[in-house]
Structure 1
Amino acid sequence: MVLQTLPESALRYSGAQRAEIGAAVYAVSRLWRGMGRDFDGSYARLEPALLAVLFTAQERVADGALAYVPDVLGDAAPEPVYESAGSRFVGVAGDGLPVASMAYGAVIQAKQAVSAGLDVAEALARGGRHLTLASGTLLSDTGRSAEKVSGGAHKVRKWTRMLNPPSCGRCVILAGKTSWQSEAFNRHPGCDCRNVPVSEDTGDDARTDPKAYLDSLSTAEQDRLLGSKANGQAFRDGADMNQLINAYRRAGAVRPAQINGRNIKFTREGTTRRGHAYWQMSQAQYIREQSVFKDGSKYKRLKAPRLMPETIYSTAKDPADAKRLLKLYGWIV
């Protein structure tokens, strides 16, 4: 299969949308700093300006997204089967609720913080963080919604997911994923990844190639993105980035424990019969002898804990032994 680099128009669009969203989030954050001790009273005074910023940014982001799809398709773009306008995307958040309700959520967060015992300054800081994250997510969702509408108008069938660096681990392992026009965009709060309409796999650019993106980072950046210095070293020693990142996909999935007086870190991710680590770990006699148990669900799971790279490196005799253990516990695929 012939690979293609990302179109220059996609990169320009990504940068323009990031700048637009960043400017709006900064403006919202500045307005929030005008909040006082009377949460509802002070918010009522700043709400018109705050919503004006968000509505203007929504329309600009949507207009950019609507123009982006025919631009990136170039000469291959068919005549649109319908027209749309950025103004149609204004006032509604990605979950279908009014933007005004989303923005007021910051006040609710601040009130809840006070009820939990925080002082006013700390409560407003928490509300401000909620507002900036929600605003960024709102505008990214607005752009993606407009992309899909424009894609439908121009008969786009498939999209490739593109990173908008710097990116988190959850986004990195999805880079380059191809989805159909009808599929929802898998994102988390604050995600700013973009979609590229393509007819072929886009695989030779770091923004759509997870490993290429990780390889482009410094050692410190790899460690941060993968969760720890040990995880970063495991990646450089051949561990699969998907295994490392997915170990953290559930809250509390990575846990400390003490076995025979030794502190360890382990995870249960990948240890059901459907997981890669289950089959790798089952090759070891001492683990096989522990058999399996039903973890309150229909899936059987290994009794033995899946050691995290941090514990593996602290117990390995030498680098060769570390790699052997990384493979045994399913980190090296």
Structure 2
Amino acid sequence: MAKPPADLALARNRQISSITRQLIELIQRIWRTLSAATIADDLEGEAGAAIVAAVIAGQLTAAQGAQAFVAGAMAEQGASAVPEALLVAEAFSGVAPDGGPLETLLFLPAIGVQRRLAAGMTGQQAMIGGLADMARYTATSIADAGRSADQVGMAATRGCVAYMRVVTLPACSRCIILAGQTYSYSEGFLRHPNCDCQTLPLREAEWEAVQSPEQLYASMSEAERRRRFGVAGADAIDQGADMNQVVNARRGMDYAHIYGRRLQVTHEGATRRSVYGRSRDRAGDRFARFAGQRHGTATSNRYFRSTRTPRLMPEEILRISDDRDEQLRLLKRYGYIV
């Protein structure tokens, strides 16, 4: 029985990293034209619009590669690579990792710059910090769009039953202890801001195709071990302590109450103009007029948002249902596949 090479997941990681790197280089060029004194106006204007448009394009590109990635992994393992539904890449763009508006997330660096100025930093120092914030939000948005699309692609391919977490160094301690762990295809992906770990779609439940936490730790220099785990933590691990006891990996989520349960939702992509919004409009949903946000500024009341059916996030759909047919039905309903 063929095993999927970890190189497949690493290639997907390089693809996402390349998209992110090109975006950050573009953002750096734009950022150099901005001023700490006018940063809020700048990000509400043309500069902010250019950054948002670039990140949306990056998310779209990352999502577009998901179905081919899953199909390649299945083909390597001798499983059927034919999906039951086609992924809608546009459904994964324009949304922040927490399900909120991407525009709002990408305006936060302006607030960070203003806070640094208020704390006594120079304009240059404040802008360097703001650029670091923007790079972090951009990298997280691209990686999450790609991983979310990958997981929907796995759900749409019945041959895929699980995925393995592939960790590439440098990585933080929280990710290292999860290296090589295998999860059901529908189980949520543990991640943090700036996390670039990758999934490896699997036909079977257990594989040895990627490095374990212990193998990753052994390949690290002493300085890197101390940087990632802390001096005391690295010393404890060196003396035989359980790495999982040294590091406590956590993930945070935002939830809303819907259908009598706490579920992760988004209002992004829920307007009449969106894929999901058009489907709900045809289904007879009522839409309320509301003011949109354009680069941090409220617009006129020209948008219509569903008042009856919030849009579930893909990972939440996979979490609340164990039945693949029901998962596919919900993914179609909410516009992630067709």
Tell me which residue corresponds to 2:224: 221
How far is 1:22 from its partner? 2.1
Rounded to whole Å, the distance in 1 between the matches of 2:32 and 2:246 is 39
What does 1:145-294 align with in structure 2 at a 5 Å threshold?
A: 145-155=148-158, 156-198=160-202, 199-206=204-211, 209-228=212-231, 230-246=232-248
How far is 1:53 from its partner? 1.8
* CA offset digits 1:194-226 (Å, max 9, x no partner): 1111113223532xx100111112222222222
Tell me which residue corresponds to 1:40: 40
Do residues 20 (structure 1) and 19 (structure 2) align?
yes
Rounded to whole Å, the distance in 1 between the matches of 2:225 and 2:5 is 23
Instruction: Give the letter aligned to residue 10 of structure 1.
Output: A
* CA offset digits 1:132-182 (Å, max 9, x no partner): 111111111000110011111102332111103211100001112222233
Tell me which residue corresponds to 1:53: 54
**Greater relative contact order (CA < 8 Å, ≥ 6 in sequence):** 2
Rounded to whole Å, the distance in 1 between the matches of 2:250 and 2:82 is 42
Tell me which residue corresponds to 2:265: none
Q: Say which SS state the counterpart of residue 106 (structure 2) adopts.
A: helix
* CA offset digits 1:30-89 (Å, max 9, x no partner): 322221121233331312321232122111111122221111111413421111232332
1:25 and 1:135 in contact (8 A); partners too: yes
Aligned residues: 245
Tell me which residue corresponds to 1:267: none
Rounded to whole Å, the distance in 2 between the matches of 1:34 and 1:105 is 18
Let me know the Cα RMSD of the aligned residues: 2.4
Q: Say which SS state the counterpart of residue 38 (structure 1) adopts.
A: helix
- CA gap 1:33/1:192 in 2 versus in 1, 3 angstroms: same
Rounded to whole Å, the distance in 2 between the matches of 1:5 and 1:88 is 28
Question: What percent identity do the matched residue pairs reach?
Answer: 30
Rounded to whole Å, the distance in 2 between the matches of 1:138 and 1:128 is 15
Give every structure 1 segment of 4 or more consecutive aligned residues whose post-TM-superposition deviation is greater than 4 Å.
Answer: 2-5
Q: If the length of structure 2 is used for normalisation, what is the TM-score?
A: 0.66
Q: Say which SS state the counterpart of residue 76 (structure 1) adopts.
A: coil
What does 1:81-96 align with in structure 2 at a 5 Å threshold?
A: 81-96=84-99
- CA gap 1:205/1:3 in 2 versus in 1, 3 angstroms: farther
Instruction: Give the letter aligned to residue 178 of structure 1.
Output: T
- CA gap 1:204/1:237 in 2 versus in 1, 3 angstroms: farther
Tell me which residue corresponds to 2:297: none
Instruction: Give the letter aligned to residue 47 of structure 2.
Output: L
Q: Say which SS state the counterpart of residue 188 (structure 2) adopts.
A: coil
Q: Which has the larger radius of gyration?
A: 1
Q: Say which SS state the counterpart of residue 185 (structure 1) adopts.
A: coil
Do residues 65 (structure 1) and 66 (structure 2) align?
yes
Rounded to whole Å, the distance in 1 between the matches of 2:146 and 2:217 is 26
Q: Say which SS state the counterpart of residue 9 (structure 1) adopts.
A: helix
Rounded to whole Å, the distance in 2 between the matches of 1:116 and 1:49 is 29
Rounded to whole Å, the distance in 2 between the matches of 1:185 and 1:86 is 19
* CA offset digits 1:284-306 (Å, max 9, x no partner): xxxxxxxxxxxxxxxxxxxxxxx
2:163 and 2:184 in contact (8 A); partners too: yes
**Runs of 5+ consecutive residues of structure 2 not aligned to the other structure:** 252-338
**Runs of 5+ consecutive residues of structure 1 not aligned to the other structure:** 251-333
